[in-house]
């Protein structure tokens, strides 16, 4: 198989699987899940083929899809080092999560629908990874939006899931509007939307870089990667099944926004990069604070995801797309692990999600607890774990480039360790605090194996020296660049000390403050206003709710009034009524009496005469 054929196989396998499930196996959960898992395995194998066949070279393939006059829309692949790295991660994590879902969703009524959704998601996600032009990215971008909508709303008989899926979809549309305008603008500006061609134009003359195009395309990223101010959908999206939260809302889809930025990083001028860096930093700190106000294990992880996405965009904004990609990959490993372990906990505790009702799970579910601990340590950036290397690189880049960002990101690292410590100490240590937790049991093997594999990856995934040479070239370049910058050695020591202090202090303080296996949130008891403030999450949902109900709704009523009275009443009905009136009048002249026709004939003759002689 050539590289192109392998890539086609990668893209079409999940589509085929989704089509098979949708058309033939909608009622057969077992068959559907087998097909979907098999497809996920095939994706991973085919992507390895593709990477081997590409032999470290960029594979570009383009096929004309539609012609409009002298404009054509093409579909194609741009398979370079970045895409190869992302493809491997998506294939691997996707496969593991598929296997996990086998166990987690074993007793679900809508299993076939769920696995069909996973397959269509894999198809759309891989489309984004491989796409070679903005329009194709946009098409698959919307497809991941759709599959995310479908999977968040999997438990469709609960109002929460229905509202959350709608919210995710609508909030994403807000960002996508900017994205779409950006694509049109880019086509008008460059005459093409092909990534390599645009890169060529910009590389030849940097005058072509346009801040507005970059800012507009950034809107798509803000929506998909849940950055300020469109971050509100991600915590709500946790209403979906846990494997979905792991796959879509932690490891792959939300990271697709960052991946998209990395693909088009040549389009970004310094000002927009600064903006992205500050957006990312603010969301990293903000989400860190919000996590303290949550008791739902998945919501805490969701805010953690927001915060880590903030780190990625900060790294990108500081001018290191490779380091952003590095953190994206390691984050995918440990955040998928954390979500899956949380899923295993939820599965074991009979769908209990409140951490203050768990407790003592370390004894009941040792493997889950240990893998969760590994994920926690990786997320906190403990030396040697995957998260350490990428987070360290981001902090060094910030320390060398932008001191305020560095300080805030270090604060974010401290907050991360704090809320993760709170989660781990409360949920896994001490005594069980509810019936469901005391009857907790270790999960079956098909849940544990993905956990163990991901735990190994969270441990060793950051050892970039051991990565295959085809992967992560851009990461190594960026790291090398960082290593040769002035002041690297000193900053490296500072970051090592600051980062380690942050996680040690965070974990210890949270243990001392909350206590192992606490029954109640001590912050809520001791300092209710602060807790309330954190829980309110800066009232974003309320502000948006107010905006929608009071401002947008009124505007909509006003527009509807204009629609009904002016457009419908005056223009449409009015013109029809006028014509009808003329018709009624002229019909009354038509009485069938020859004499009246003669009169009209005479009147017409007179009028003609008058007109001809100039009287009229």
CA distance linking residue 82 with residue 477, whole number of Å: 12
CA distance linking residue 316 with residue 402, whole number of Å: 13
Contact with other proteins (CB under 8 A) among 1, 508, 512, 598? 598
Among 121-129, 401-409, 573-581, 587-595, the segment contacting other proteins (CB under 8 A): 587-595
Min. distance of Cβ 72 from other proteins in angstroms? 60
Min. distance of Cβ 593 from other proteins in angstroms? 6
Among 86-94, 230-238, 368-376, 586-594, the segment contacting other proteins (CB under 8 A): 586-594
CA distance linking residue 492 with residue 498, whole number of Å: 10
Q: What angle do CA 258, 264, 268 make, to 5 degrees?
A: 95
Cβ proximity to other proteins, 549 vs 608, nearer residue: 608
Token digits for 171?
A: 């909030």
Cβ proximity to other proteins, 605 vs 607, nearer residue: 605
Q: How many CA atoms lie within 13 A of 307 on its CB side?
A: 30
**Count of beta carbons in the 10 Å neighbourhood of residue 409:** 32
Cβ proximity to other proteins, 55 vs 587, nearer residue: 587
Rg over alpha carbons for the chain, rounded to the nearest Å, is 30
**Count of beta carbons in the 10 Å neighbourhood of residue 448:** 20
Which residue's entry shows tokens 């210890």?
508
Contact call for residues 308 and 250 (beta carbons, < 8 A):
no
Give Cα 612 to chain centroid, integer Å. Answer: 76
Q: How many residues in the shown chain lie near other proteins by CB under 8 A?
A: 8
Contact with other proteins (CB under 8 A) among 466, 595, 613, 614? 595
484 φ, ψ to 5°? Answer: -95, 10
Contact with other proteins (CB under 8 A) among 204, 584, 585, 594? 594
Among 76-84, 458-466, 562-570, 594-602, the segment contacting other proteins (CB under 8 A): 594-602
Q: What angle do CA 485, 478, 387 make, to 5 degrees?
A: 105
**Count of beta carbons in the 10 Å neighbourhood of residue 588:** 8
Min. distance of Cβ 581 from other proteins in angstroms? 19
Residue 585 contacts other proteins per CB under 8 A = no
Binding mask 531-570 for other proteins (x = CB under 8 A): ----------------------------------------
Q: How deeply is 559 buried, as exposed, middle or buried, from its count of CB atoms within 10 A (0-12, 13-18, 19+)?
A: exposed
Min. distance of Cβ 584 from other proteins in angstroms? 14
Residue 593 contacts other proteins per CB under 8 A = yes
Contact call for residues 241 and 117 (beta carbons, < 8 A):
no
Cβ proximity to other proteins, 529 vs 592, nearer residue: 592
Which residue's entry shows tokens 């679900």?
108
Among 219-227, 475-483, 533-541, 593-601, the segment contacting other proteins (CB under 8 A): 593-601
Min. distance of Cβ 609 from other proteins in angstroms? 15
Cβ proximity to other proteins, 547 vs 601, nearer residue: 601
Among 29-37, 281-289, 424-432, 591-599, the segment contacting other proteins (CB under 8 A): 591-599
Min. distance of Cβ 592 from other proteins in angstroms? 3
Q: H-helix or E-strand containing 237?
A: none
In sequence order, the β-bridge partners of residue 131 are 77
Token digits for 417?
A: 């360790």
Min. distance of Cβ 615 from other proteins in angstroms? 21
Among 141-149, 166-174, 352-360, 588-596, the segment contacting other proteins (CB under 8 A): 588-596
CA distance linking residue 226 with residue 234, whole number of Å: 6
Min. distance of Cβ 591 from other proteins in angstroms? 5
Contact call for residues 338 and 372 (beta carbons, < 8 A):
yes
Cβ proximity to other proteins, 563 vs 591, nearer residue: 591
Min. distance of Cβ 598 from other proteins in angstroms? 6
Residue 600 contacts other proteins per CB under 8 A = no
Residue 608 contacts other proteins per CB under 8 A = no
Contact with other proteins (CB under 8 A) among 160, 520, 542, 591? 591
Contact with other proteins (CB under 8 A) among 69, 465, 529, 592? 592
Contact call for residues 401 and 319 (beta carbons, < 8 A):
yes
Min. distance of Cβ 590 from other proteins in angstroms? 6
CA distance linking residue 86 with residue 259, whole number of Å: 8
Which residue's entry shows tokens 């969301």?
283
Among 89-97, 234-242, 584-592, 608-616, the segment contacting other proteins (CB under 8 A): 584-592
Which residue's entry shows tokens 């300092």?
527
Min. distance of Cβ 605 from other proteins in angstroms? 11
Cβ proximity to other proteins, 589 vs 610, nearer residue: 589
Contact call for residues 158 and 239 (beta carbons, < 8 A):
yes
Max CA separation in the chain (angstroms):
111
Residue 586 contacts other proteins per CB under 8 A = no
Cβ proximity to other proteins, 589 vs 611, nearer residue: 589
Cβ proximity to other proteins, 383 vs 599, nearer residue: 599
CA distance linking residue 377 with residue 306, whole number of Å: 18
Cβ proximity to other proteins, 493 vs 590, nearer residue: 590
Contact call for residues 214 and 186 (beta carbons, < 8 A):
no
Token digits for 418?
A: 């704090």
Min. distance of Cβ 597 from other proteins in angstroms? 9
Cβ proximity to other proteins, 539 vs 601, nearer residue: 601
Min. distance of Cβ 578 from other proteins in angstroms? 24
Token digits for 61?
A: 């393939």
Residue 613 contacts other proteins per CB under 8 A = no
- Cα-based distances in Å from 292 to 160, 288, 512, 521, 525: 22, 7, 15, 10, 13
Contact with other proteins (CB under 8 A) among 483, 536, 590, 611? 590
CA distance linking residue 311 with residue 434, whole number of Å: 36
Min. distance of Cβ 66 from other proteins in angstroms? 56
Residue 599 contacts other proteins per CB under 8 A = yes
Q: How many CA atoms lie within 13 A of 126 on its CB side?
A: 31
Cβ proximity to other proteins, 554 vs 590, nearer residue: 590
Residue ranges in contact with other proteins by CB under 8 A: 590-595, 598-599
């Amino acid at each position: 198989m050539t590289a192109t054929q392998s890539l086609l196989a990668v893209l079409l396998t999940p589509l085929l699987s989704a089509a098979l499930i949708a058309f033939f196996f909608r009622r057969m959960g077992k068959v559907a899940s087998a097909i979907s898992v098999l497809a996920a395995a095939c994706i991973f194998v085919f992507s390895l083929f593709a990477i081997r066949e590409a032999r470290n070279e960029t594979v570009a393939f383009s096929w004309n899809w539609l012609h409009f006059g002298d404009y054509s829309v093409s579909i194609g692949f741009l398979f370079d080092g970045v895409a190869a790295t992302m493809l491997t991660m998506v294939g691997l994590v996707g496969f593991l999560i598929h296997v996990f879902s086998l166990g987690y969703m074993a007793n679900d009524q809508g299993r076939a629908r769920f696995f069909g959704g996973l397959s269509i998601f894999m198809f759309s996600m891989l489309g984004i990874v491989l796409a070679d032009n903005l329009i194709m990215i946009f098409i698959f971008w919307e497809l991941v939006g759709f599959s995310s909508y479908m999977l968040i709303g999997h438990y469709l008989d609960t109002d929460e899931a229905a509202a959350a899926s709608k919210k995710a979809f609508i909030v994403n549309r807000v960002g996508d509007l900017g994205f779409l305008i950006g694509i049109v603008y880019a086509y008008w500006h460059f005459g093409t939307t092909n990534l390599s061609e645009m890169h060529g134009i910009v590389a030849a003359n940097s005058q072509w870089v346009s801040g507005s195009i970059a800012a507009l395309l950034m809107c798509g990223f803000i929506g998909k990667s849940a950055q300020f101010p469109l971050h509100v959908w991600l915590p709500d999206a946790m209403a979906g099944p846990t494997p979905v939260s792991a796959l879509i809302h932690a490891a792959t889809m939300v990271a697709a926004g960052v991946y998209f930025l990395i693909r088009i990083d040549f389009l970004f001028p310094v000002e927009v990069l600064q903006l992205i860096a500050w957006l990312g930093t603010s969301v990293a700190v903000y989400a860190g604070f919000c996590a303290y106000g949550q008791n739902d294990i998945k919501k805490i992880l969701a805010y953690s995801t927001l915060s880590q996405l903030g780190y990625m965009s900060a790294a990108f904004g500081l001018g290191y797309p490779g380091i952003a990609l590095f953190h994206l990959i390691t984050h995918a490993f440990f955040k998928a692990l954390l979500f899956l372990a949380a899923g295993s906990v939820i599965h074991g505790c009979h769908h209990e999600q409140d951490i203050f009702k768990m407790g003592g799970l370390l004894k009941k579910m040792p493997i889950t607890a240990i893998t969760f601990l590994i994920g926690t340590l990786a997320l906190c950036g403990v030396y040697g774990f995957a998260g350490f290397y990428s987070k360290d690189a981001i902090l060094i880049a910030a320390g060398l480039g932008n001191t305020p960002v560095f300080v805030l990101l270090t604060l974010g690292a401290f907050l991360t360790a704090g809320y993760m410590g709170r989660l781990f100490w409360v949920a896994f240590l001490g005594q069980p605090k509810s019936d469901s937790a005391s009857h907790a049991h270790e999960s079956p093997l098909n849940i544990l194996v993905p956990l163990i594999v991901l735990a190994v990856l969270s441990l060793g995934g950051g050892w970039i020296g051991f990565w295959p040479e085809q992967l992560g070239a851009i990461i190594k370049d960026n790291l090398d660049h960082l290593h040769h910058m002035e002041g690297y050695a000193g900053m490296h020591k500072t970051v090592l000390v600051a980062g380690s202090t942050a996680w040690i202090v965070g974990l210890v303080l949270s243990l001392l403050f909350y206590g192992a296996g606490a029954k109640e949130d001590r912050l809520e008891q001791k300092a209710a206003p602060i807790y309330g403030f954190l829980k309110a999450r800066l009232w974003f949902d309320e502000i948006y709710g107010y905006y929608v109900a009071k401002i947008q709704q009124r505007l909509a009523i006003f527009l509807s009034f204009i629609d009904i009275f002016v457009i419908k009443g005056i223009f449409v009905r009015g013109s029809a009524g006028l014509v009808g009136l003329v018709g009624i009048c002229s019909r009354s002249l038509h009485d069938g009496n020859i004499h009246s026709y003669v009169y009209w004939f005479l009147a017409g003759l007179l009028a003609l005469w008058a007109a001809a002689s100039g009287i009229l």
